[in-house]
Structure 1
Amino acid sequence: MSQITYSAKSTALLLVDPYNDFLSEGGKVWPFIKDVAEEVGLLDNLRTINKAVRDAGIQVVIAPHRRWQPGDYECWCHPSPNQRKIMQGHHFAKGEWGGEWHPEFAPQSGDIIALEHWGSSGFANTDLDFQLKQHGITHVVLVGLLANTCIECTARFATELGYHVTLVKDATAAFKHEMMHAAHELNGPTYAHAILTTRELVAALPAA
């Protein structure tokens, strides 16, 4: 892992779903991930990575989930279990505080904000792949939520599209420890090119 390097010109940080509902006290989903998030140091690690990649000149890309609006999923033929949860819980509701960016991880000037994804993949039915290709990106580093849903699905899709994929196992969280284990110890090694800690990632980034 110490030999992995990332070029500022061809690497992007994919920050998945940095909403208040996920990352802030009072968020609708935060209570369900809080124990795991605090155990791995999620927020501090996201802060560290956010600063490090920006200092290194690496492109930051926000891959946001669909912000719930009245009527979403209700007439769909096959809403997924996660979509049903969003429909019932009004997660990331548009126009509400929970659907706003966590203030520390809000997009900055020069960041790319991909179209919102309806399912778990940040690529499916969005412009994420197009945007990355237009910026010459070949390597993607994924952080955000949740480890075993949107992170895993987006990362798998990225691999299928030919990107070099890095997971950062302490810059994400899940509802249960078993889900984190599955994401990083069982499933991740079947598709990801690198599975790092925040410290290992920062050490591999180019100098500011």
Structure 2
Amino acid sequence: MTTATYTAADTALLVVDPYNDFMSEGGKLYEAIRPTAEASGLFDNLRKILPAFRAAGVKVFIVPHHRSRADDYAKWDHLNMFQKANIPSQAFGEGTWGGEFNPEFGPQEGDIVVKEHWAQSGFANTDLDFLLKQHGARKLVLVGLIANSCIESTARFGMELGYHVTIVPDATAAFSHEGMVAAATNAPMYAHAILKTEELLGQLG
């Protein structure tokens, strides 16, 4: 009999950046992530994970990127490459369709929406750690985008804060195959478990 590793008592599912610009056809970044999303089975696997975790009573945390505004980086000293690239494209634009949550993969009633992160980590300068502790979460399961940036950065930060971290590679995607390889290469350095969707569901209490 499989031990229930993930239960409502101590687990949180973190869904990172489920915006239309990433997850909906016509989104500004949809075509960029589509090859790896199709290769990993991202969308089909999220369709299994999300309802299963909600049905089990596991808290779902939406971990969103900052919604873009035209003057976001005025007079900033240290922009990273993604922030620079987003100045002309304005992905996840505030008040735009692309900056709305995908209706299928975004928050549902009872989910918790965390404050938006500016760069890659869902913990840095947000209330994620505080909210997780308020809900008794000790184990984090991360799904969504992007595997080798926001997923990895959030997972690393979570490990440093003392959480048990699980990565689900077939419920993530990246901007390139190389990005997926980089994420897979780095994950054993910080993740306590690396599971395929079916393995994860088999350990869900």
TM-score, structure 1 as length reference: 0.95
* 1:131 alignment partner in structure 2: 131
Of stretches 160-169 and 3-12 in structure 1, the one that deviates more from structure 2 is 3-12
- Matching residue's letter, 2:112: I
Q: How does 1:157-172 map to 2 (within 5 A)?
A: 157-172=157-172
* 2:176 alignment partner in structure 1: 176
Q: How does 1:35-114 map to 2 (within 5 A)?
A: 35-114=35-114
Kept in 2, the 8 Å contact 1:74–1:87? The answer is no
**Structure-2 separation of matches of 1:106 and 1:3:** 29
**Structure-2 separation of matches of 1:11 and 1:139:** 5
- Matching residue's letter, 2:187: G
- Matching residue's letter, 1:31: E
* 1:191 alignment partner in structure 2: 190
Q: CA deviation at 1:106?
A: 2.3
**Structure-2 separation of matches of 1:157 and 1:85:** 24
**Structure-2 separation of matches of 1:167 and 1:26:** 28
Kept in 1, the 8 Å contact 2:7–2:56? The answer is no
Kept in 1, the 8 Å contact 2:159–2:191? The answer is yes
**Structure-2 separation of matches of 1:92 and 1:42:** 20
3-state SS of 1:142 partner: strand
- Matching residue's letter, 1:200: E
Which whole-Å deviations, capped at 9, do the CAs of 1:139-172 have from their partners, x for residues lacking one?
Answer: 0000000000000000000000000000000001
**Structure-1 separation of matches of 2:197 and 2:119:** 27
> Alignment identity in percent?
59
Q: CA deviation at 1:137?
A: 0.5
Q: CA deviation at 1:112?
A: 0.8
3-state SS of 1:167 partner: strand
Kept in 2, the 8 Å contact 1:64–1:114? The answer is yes
Q: Structure 2: which 5+ runs fail to align?
A: none
Q: CA deviation at 1:108?
A: 1.6
CA-atom RMSD in angstroms? 1.1
**Structure-1 separation of matches of 2:28 and 2:92:** 8
Q: CA deviation at 1:175?
A: 1.4
3-state SS of 2:104 partner: helix
**Structure-2 separation of matches of 1:86 and 1:112:** 26
- Matching residue's letter, 1:67: R
**Structure-1 separation of matches of 2:194 and 2:88:** 34
**Structure-2 separation of matches of 1:158 and 1:9:** 18
3-state SS of 1:150 partner: helix
- Matching residue's letter, 1:196: L
Which whole-Å deviations, capped at 9, do the CAs of 1:62-120 have from their partners, x for residues lacking one?
Answer: 00000001201132110111111122210100110100011102212221111000010
- Matching residue's letter, 2:20: N
3-state SS of 2:168 partner: strand
**Structure-2 separation of matches of 1:32 and 1:74:** 27
3-state SS of 1:60 partner: strand
**Alpha-carbon spacing, 1:168–1:99, altered in 2? closer, same or farther (3 Å):** same
**Structure-2 separation of matches of 1:88 and 1:3:** 49
Q: CA deviation at 1:205?
A: 0.3
TM-score, structure 2 as length reference: 0.97
Which whole-Å deviations, capped at 9, do the CAs of 1:17-65 have from their partners, x for residues lacking one?
Answer: 0000001110111111111111111111111100110111100000000
